[in-house]
Amino acid sequence: MDAGTKLRNTIGHDAGPATLSGPNLGICGSIVTAFVFGPIPVDHSRIDRVSFPIDGRRYTVDQATCQSTAQQPGRFRIGGPINRSALMPSDPNETVYDIRGLTKIYPMGEVEVHALRGVNLRIPESEFVVLLGPSGSGKSTLLNIMGGLDVPTDGEVRYRDLDMTRADANRLTWFRRESVGFVFQFYNLIPSLTARENVSLVTDIATDPMTAEEALDIVGLSDRLDHFPSQLSGGQQQRVAIARAIAKRPDVLLCDEPTGALDAHTGITVLEAISNINAELGTTTAVITHNAAIGQIADRIVSMRDGVIVDETRNSTKAPVSSMSW
């Protein structure tokens, strides 16, 4: 598949000739129309930038004039010529998550459980971060808040330009639906549906999804499309769950102990799929685990204990997944 086709497939190109040329990967030619999804309120008619992946790097179109498509609220169209100077690699230092002073307290009768105690964390574009810690360290609570599944007691969570701590329930629902892919320790597949049908549960409601076949091919399951969960191994079921998470082309992939129920060999296969998605699609990825070995394949390891971040380590070189053992 040539780069121009990848671009059209990635951003939903639907009008005008467009080609990619030169080492700077610019668009030349006529009108380019693209559909843009993510944390954009449906009543906005203009946005400042559009970000999308091509061959493992994210690219940004600045100052794009967008027009809402009335038939599909929340879908926006970029109209107008886009030249080489307008298409540029996204800044790898651009902040996807900015978390400040995050606190979460769960009342348990007369007792208060402090799950998070003033967490500060910044996650930049396309980073692969591992949140490492023992049970009860607060890492799952942090991930749930990042995914809009829970709300903090205090502090601030910003996802790009969205203030998640002030967003209402409808806005958080839209955020979860369009921007985040979730992978959990237990696969949560519907037993009576095939792998293809389980993934299609997402593709049928997402705005601009991959096909179920494309998503399953990315995780190496193109030969298991019509198998039921009971006909798949644990690792294969988890890869179906990953395919389901990425089928809607999420900006962020959040994984909660994705290898926790798997043996080492199978877990490595699953981690290879997650690592490839981060590298090839440029998806910002956070994996929480108690397994320190998994940190070798990440850009950064954030260690947690008792609701606080106790250490951060950046890997100068990420280890290949195939070299892992535990």
Handedness of CA 173, 177, 180, 184 (dihedral sign): positive
67 and 159: one domain? no
Q: In angstroms, what CA-CA distances link 23 with 7, 26, 53?
A: 15, 8, 16
Residue scoring higher pLDDT (58 or 322): 322
Domain that holds residue 315: 95-323
What is the number of structural domains in the chain? 2
- Look at 308 and 259; give whichever has higher pLDDT: 308
Q: Is the pLDDT of residue 4 over 70?
A: no
Same-domain status, 99 and 163:
yes
- Predicted local confidence at residue 303, as pLDDT: 97
How large is the average pLDDT for residues 237-243? 93
Place of tokens 């992978």: 183
Q: Determine which of 17-21, 151-155, 210-214, 219-223 has the lowest per-residue pLDDT on average.
A: 17-21
Give the confidence band of 81 by pLDDT, cuts at 50, 70, 90.
very low
Q: What's the CATH code of the domain at 195?
A: 3.40.50.300
* Residue 189 and residue 305 in one domain: yes
Residue 61 pLDDT exceeds 80: no
Residue 280's pLDDT band (boundaries 50, 70, 90)?
confident
- Are the beta carbons of 97 and 159 closer than 8 angstroms? yes
Residue 39 pLDDT greater than 60, yes or no = no
User: Looking at residue 91, what is its pLDDT?
Assistant: 57
Domain boundary among 54, 89, 124: 89
Report pLDDT digits (tens) over 5-33: 333 343 333 323 232 222 222 232 222 33
Shared domain for 275 and 236, answered yes or no, is yes
CA–CA gap between residue 269 and residue 251 (Å, rounded): 23
Stretch 267-289: mean pLDDT, rounded?
A: 90
Domain stops at, among 89, 106, 139? 89
Whether the predicted pLDDT of 83 surpasses 70: no
* Residues 245, 163 within the same domain: yes
Name the average pLDDT for the chain. 77
**225 and 105 in a common domain:** yes
pLDDT (mean) for 238-256 = 92
Which is nearest to 186 in space by CA: 255, 284, 286? 255
Span 190-216, pLDDT tens digits: 999 999 999 999 888 877 788 999 999
- pLDDT-derived band at 75 (thresholds 50, 70, 90) equals very low
Q: Which amino acid is at 58?
A: R
Q: Of 89, 122, 156, which closes a domain?
A: 89
> How far apart are the C-alpha atoms of 102 and 100, rounded to whole Å?
5
Average pLDDT over residues 51-59: 49
Quick one: which H or E segment has residue 113?
strand 111-124
Q: Within this chain, do residues 76 and 99 fall inside the same structural domain, yes or no?
A: no
285 in the same domain as 150: yes
Average pLDDT over every residue of 224-237: 94
Sign of torsion over alpha carbons 263, 229, 224, 3: negative
> Is 224 in contact with 218 (CB distance < 8 Å)?
no
77 with 138, same domain?
A: no
Structure confidence at residue 313 (pLDDT)? 95
Residue type, 49: R
**Residues 37 and 170 reside in one and the same domain:** no
Q: Which residues contact residue 26 at a Cβ distance below 8 angstroms, ignoring those fewer than 6 apart? A: 20, 83, 84, 85, 87
Q: What's the pLDDT band for 69 if we cut at 50, 70, 90?
A: very low
Do both 273 and 298 map to the same domain?
yes
Q: Are residues 82 and 99 in the same domain?
A: no
Taking only the tens place, the pLDDT of each residue in 104-133 is 999 988 899 999 999 999 999 999 999 999
Distance between start and end Cα atoms, the chain: 37
pTM greater than the 0.75 cutoff: no
Amino acid 204: pLDDT: 80
**What confidence score (pLDDT) does residue 59 get?**
52
